[in-house]
Every structure is written in structure tokens, then in C-alpha cells.
Amino acid sequence: MKDLRVSVIQWDLKWENPKSNRYEIEKILSSQSVETDIVVLPEMFSTGFSMNASEICEAPGGKTEEWMKSTALKLNCAVAGSIATKIDDRVLNRFLFVTPSDTFHYDKRHLFRMANEHKTYEAGTERVIVKWRGWRIKLEICYDLRFPVFSRNVGDYDLLLNVANWPAKRSFHWKSLLPARAIENQACVVGVNRIGKDGNGYMFTGNSLAITAFGETILDMGSQEGYGQAIFSYEELIKYRKKFPSYKDADSFTLHL
């Protein structure tokens, strides 16, 4: 199985301005010449974490999803990140994983009640794992990170992707929970966050991280704006699981969504 090249982009999201945010991503990507398998963007990367759902939402197949598709085709990779998506009379915080040939989605399960997200968006009901270039990838959004049962690896994923708007005042939690999820699940983890100040005045310090299944940080973007890439070895992942098979002693449970 081949190694997986995962690229992350963190920048100061332009508040409720999809066109400007797509432009910023394109500008950052155009400065790079390296090949990649996945480009990962923050939660609600086109607008910021806004509760103005009716104004910022897009229908499936809208401009931002079309842009993700064209970027995936251009770079021959997957493009991943969440946007506000309207389905009939419902709005969801939807994680899109777009490849040159397919579009997968996960709707955020744990809605951040401290910002009234649970009153604005509808919660998802499914745990989603996608297969891409031989890797099994679990999709999560921000607040999901705090719920280890939901993240539990039951032998069904190799990489956990979490896209977030995680504020600076709780950055210690972010930097603690990401490696915890990697270690306890013996899976690689990538968490992508934004920087700057949002439309509500909250500050974000980024700290987008890539962590091996052993818990080693192989990419830390700090608070810098721009592009970073981590390369995960599938051979090393399998070798570690075989050498230290703690998953065989895990407690059984049933997850009710």
C-alpha cells in the first residue's frame, strides 16, 4: 500500500465571503509545486463558523462544491472541508470529501451548543468512513473531537480527519485531544484549523496538526498562514499495529446514534 500525502491549508477565513475564501485557497495552492493525495481545509472554510445559516448555505452541487470538484480534477487529489449545506428546509454543517470522480459527505453529529449550533443546524445521524487510494478515512468536524466513543476505531479506519474552527482560548484542548485520538485508536490523525479573528470577535491560532498512530507529531503549522504537508507510511502503520496490538484487548460496545 502506498504512503498518503496529506496537505493542510490554514488561513484567516474571510467572514461569510465564499468567493474571497476560494480565491485565498487558490492563491496558496498555486504557490506549491508538490503533488498531494488530499488537500484538507478548515470547518466552514468558505464562510467561517457562522450561525447565519440561511444566508451562507449552499445547495448540494453549489458553487463551492463545484470549485472543490474542479480543484480535485486539476490536482488529481481529494479536496476535503465542511460548508453549510441546505437540504429542503434543513441546513447541515456538511463535510465534503471530493475526489476527481466522486463526492462523499458527512454531516456533523455533535453540534456546538455553546454557540447555539444545535438550534441553527440539524445534526447528522451517520458515522462516515471513505476509502481513498487504499486508505480508510473517518470524517469528523471540530466538536466531534471531544467524544472518544464516536471516534472509536473498531478496525474500520486508518486515518481520522477533523476539520475545525477551534478558538484560541481552548487551543490546549485541541492540541491534547488530537494526539489522544491517534494513540487510543492506533490511527493517524490530521486536524485542520483556521487562524485570525472571525465575525464574532473570536481569535484562532491554527495549530493544524498531523499525528502518527504512535502519537508522534509530524506536522505542526503553528499560527502561520499557508500550506503544509505530512506523509503517512501505511507500512509503518501496519507494522506498529502488529507489534503493539492493544486493539485486541479493547472493550466491546454498541454505538447508538
Q: Which of 16, 24, 43, 117 does the annotation list as catalytic?
A: 43
Q: H-helix or E-strand containing 151?
A: helix 148-151
Interstrand relation of 103-107 and 90-98 (parallel, antiparallel or unpaired): antiparallel
Catalytic annotation present for 142? yes
Q: Which of 14, 69, 77, 142 does the annotation list as catalytic?
A: 142
201, burial (CB in 10 Å: exposed 0-12, middle 13-18, buried 19+):
exposed
Q: H-helix or E-strand containing 24?
A: helix 18-30
Catalytic annotation present for 169? no
Q: What phi-psi label fits residue 229: left (phi over 0), alpha (psi between -120 and 50 degrees) or beta?
A: beta
Q: Which of 77, 108, 117, 140 does the annotation list as catalytic?
A: 108
Q: Calculate the dihedral angle through the C-alpha atoms of 144, 149, 155, 160, rounding to the nearest 10 degrees.
A: 20
**Contacts by 166-175, CB closer than 8 A, 24 or more apart:** 166/142, 166/193, 166/204, 167/202, 167/203, 167/204, 168/202, 168/203, 168/204, 168/205, 169/203, 171/205, 171/207, 173/146, 174/145, 174/207, 175/207, 175/209
Alpha-carbon distances, residue 185 vs 18, 31, 179, 201, 234 (angstroms): 35, 35, 10, 35, 15
Residues recognised as catalytic = 43, 108, 142
